[in-house]
Structure 1
């Protein structure tokens, strides 16, 4: 591998846009019972099979009546029956009459309003309404939430817990979803050893594969763990061909720099195509993206923090797109620095921080050593402090932009993404 980059260094926004443009979403589908569809991506739009609610009903416990009979300061009405959820009152409500009704109970014929029971009192079989009642008061019209034939969810949406309830209410007993992406992952490096085995001088435990396993598991993809591959071109080529043959995407860590033992890019160029391999971000500048046959390839750096940062900023959006959805752009928010930051300008940087709140709003504290090999900074953090490339020095109290680790990832829009120069 020469010392010259295969392509110009790209801004993060450019790299992300090009990755997304190069992803062809999975087309294979399967039909699942609704109860098994949580977290899956819809392959077809879903429409409501019924009106929701199916009948005009009460929004609270009270009495169904004709609003024309309750126009005065107080009104006396005769109680003629009950309407409970699932057990409607059979018959109309006439002048001067009312029906006791529970939340969700069907509004009886003739009634056009409900008065909550706290605004009434009982006198034998009569109900005294203690204030005027307007037409439509405390009722939920039929079809207020969904109407029969109305689109409920579009294709490409990842089904959330709230979606499950809405799909069920609209009568969707089963849904068509895209197949889950199959993703192979492995670490490269002669120095890596399995956790639980003794270490010899110069050896370290393979932590990156555990981070990748967790990050991929959160996305709900099918995993193929290929372990640790030594820094040997033949072994790397054999493993890469196997991974590409069995999976839709391959994610590796290590071997994408320009050292003499960094063979991943050479191997990738011999069996596939390299899209780009340098991104103007810190940590995580050396990064390979390409394709081997029909499989996407993501070659991440070897430093532990760089693996997590590059996965979250670049690989995760691409895998969301591969799954058939669109990723959400990173959600950022302002916060005040709790301590000063001094750095060398030059690249967009993702420092690790911890958020807090006081009477003036959000604050963020940088977490000690920000080196790309200090994984503890990721473990203790709950956000990235996003520092522009030209930022050099910040004082305590200065405003910065932060990206919380916990934020929406799925169900974005194609309009959210464009390549920025």
Structure 2
């Protein structure tokens, strides 16, 4: 894998995406770990899960009512003496006397000797006796052990991304932890002397560091474990130190800034010495890109303009990271463009847009520094490189943000 020199034709978006996939696909073999049930939502099972016990665990009532022998209510109406009350959570096992009834609550154990439950709304009681007005057959409103799941039965298969419904079933059989696929671990490094943390006083020429927190949010949103977010100035020694810290703890490192054709491109200068490849991709925004491998860890280097960074993540990183996490691909749709567009020949444009009126409107301001305009967008509009004048009404490919 290599970039051609910058004077050569730029690499296509598709070609660059394939190279990134080749670098990241081995992370599918990253192994497993144990997760507590309370933290398992959204995780992917690494192994099949089998029920350790029957559900229901014991015979219990499906209704608030009265546990009786069906033979006792074969002829109705009939009045039966009350022999007690069984609440949910009752661990005693009182036996139902012949010809009597016991009041039971939903989920309460069915007393030995009873074989059906009369719903409370079909009875009248004075507290000492109960009059049953509708007879029932044996088994009615009785939940038998194992009617939901039997011990040893498969509950969830390896690869399942755990949703609340899975958590409910797995917790119901008493599991407190699960074996899940380890999340991809990512580190983020932003670069630039001009970047300052939120809340700091800005001097002329300085800006707030939005890319670090934005990339971390994008990674977390796609089930990636962000292990560090660091910033480096344009000093090569400092960047090398931040890079060493990142590759020591992450499966993949994302850098932002320092990849263009200027005089202080610290990411390109340092990583090129380590075999990294930098060059242009035929896209806008996000043209300058870099790919490196440091100590066997892939390093994806995006340009530093905020929109360029986020578009690069959406186009190149998010699809493969979602597949690695077991998440579904986000649907790409085709919709009419509601505004005309002029696009540079030979470059694929990813324009910020907003869904409306059965199509997609462009969000005003397409410069790669206009991060506030991206906040108003909910899609990227994919304008192919051969299109230069795109009329309103043209069907375009739309990628959700």
Assess same fold via TM > 0.5. yes
1:66–1:93 Cα contact (<8 Å) kept: no
Is residue 327 from structure 1 mapped to residue 327 from structure 2 by the alignment?
yes
Equivalent-residue separation in structure 2 for 1:107 and 1:344 (angstroms): 75
Equivalent-residue separation in structure 2 for 1:48 and 1:223 (angstroms): 34
SS of match in other structure, 1:52: coil
Equivalent-residue separation in structure 2 for 1:387 and 1:81 (angstroms): 72
Alignment counterpart, residue 102 of structure 1, candidates 102, 105, 109: 105
SS of match in other structure, 1:243: helix
- Once the two structures are TM-superposed, the CA of residue 54 in structure 1 deviates from its matched residue by 0.5
Structure 1 stretch displaced more, 296-305 or 207-216: 207-216
Change (3 A) 1:71 1:216: same
Match of 1:353 in 2: 354
Equivalent-residue separation in structure 1 for 2:264 and 2:21 (angstroms): 30
Match of 1:372 in 2: 368
What TM-score do you get using the length of structure 1 for normalisation? 0.71
Equivalent-residue separation in structure 1 for 2:359 and 2:118 (angstroms): 47
Q: C-alpha deviations, 1:267-301, integer Å up to 9, x for none?
A: 43432455997376x64454444432221212123
Alignment counterpart, residue 171 of structure 2, candidates 168, 171, 181: 168
SS of match in other structure, 2:246: helix
Q: C-alpha deviations, 1:170-226, integer Å up to 9, x for none?
A: 22234445555543221233443444133224x433221231233345546242233
Is residue 3 from structure 1 mapped to residue 7 from structure 2 by the alignment?
yes
- Once the two structures are TM-superposed, the CA of residue 67 in structure 1 deviates from its matched residue by 5.6
Equivalent-residue separation in structure 1 for 2:137 and 2:398 (angstroms): 49
- Once the two structures are TM-superposed, the CA of residue 112 in structure 1 deviates from its matched residue by 4.8
Equivalent-residue separation in structure 1 for 2:111 and 2:167 (angstroms): 30
Any unmatched runs of 5+ in structure 2?
A: none
What TM-score do you get using the length of structure 2 for normalisation? 0.74
Change (3 A) 1:366 1:277: closer
Equivalent-residue separation in structure 2 for 1:277 and 1:290 (angstroms): 15
Change (3 A) 1:156 1:3: farther
Match of 2:299 in 1: 297
Alignment counterpart, residue 317 of structure 2, candidates 283, 301, 315: 315
- Once the two structures are TM-superposed, the CA of residue 66 in structure 1 deviates from its matched residue by 5.2
Between Structure 1 and Structure 2, how many residues are aligned? Answer: 386
1:182–1:223 Cα contact (<8 Å) kept: yes
- Once the two structures are TM-superposed, the CA of residue 68 in structure 1 deviates from its matched residue by 6.8
Any unmatched runs of 5+ in structure 1?
A: 356-360, 406-421
Match of 2:59 in 1: 56
SS of match in other structure, 2:14: coil
User: Equivalent residues in 2 for 1:228-267 (5 A)?
Assistant: 228-230=232-234, 236-237=239-240, 239-258=242-261, 261-262=264-265, 264-265=267-268, 267=270
Equivalent-residue separation in structure 2 for 1:31 and 1:6 (angstroms): 44
Equivalent-residue separation in structure 1 for 2:107 and 2:331 (angstroms): 38
Change (3 A) 1:309 1:2: closer
SS of match in other structure, 2:27: coil
SS of match in other structure, 2:311: helix
User: Equivalent residues in 2 for 1:7-406 (5 A)?
Assistant: 7-10=11-14, 18=22, 20-27=24-31, 30-31=33-34, 34-35=37-38, 42-65=45-68, 75-76=77-78, 78=80, 79-87=82-90, 90-92=94-96, 98-109=101-112, 111-122=114-125, 125-130=129-134, 133=136, 137-156=140-159, 163-177=166-180, 181-195=184-198, 196-201=200-205, 203-218=206-221, 219=223, 221-230=225-234, 236-237=239-240, 239-258=242-261, 261-262=264-265, 264-265=267-268, 267-272=270-275, 274=277, 278=281, 283-319=285-321, 325-331=325-331, 340-344=338-342, 347=348, 349=350, 351-353=352-354, 367-381=363-377, 383-384=378-379, 386-387=381-382, 389=384, 392-394=390-392, 403=400
Match of 1:417 in 2: none
- Once the two structures are TM-superposed, the CA of residue 60 in structure 1 deviates from its matched residue by 2.8
Q: C-alpha deviations, 1:284-340, integer Å up to 9, x for none?
A: 454444432221212123221232333345434545666xx4232114689x98x93
Structure 1 stretch displaced more, 118-127 or 384-393: 384-393
SS of match in other structure, 1:227: strand
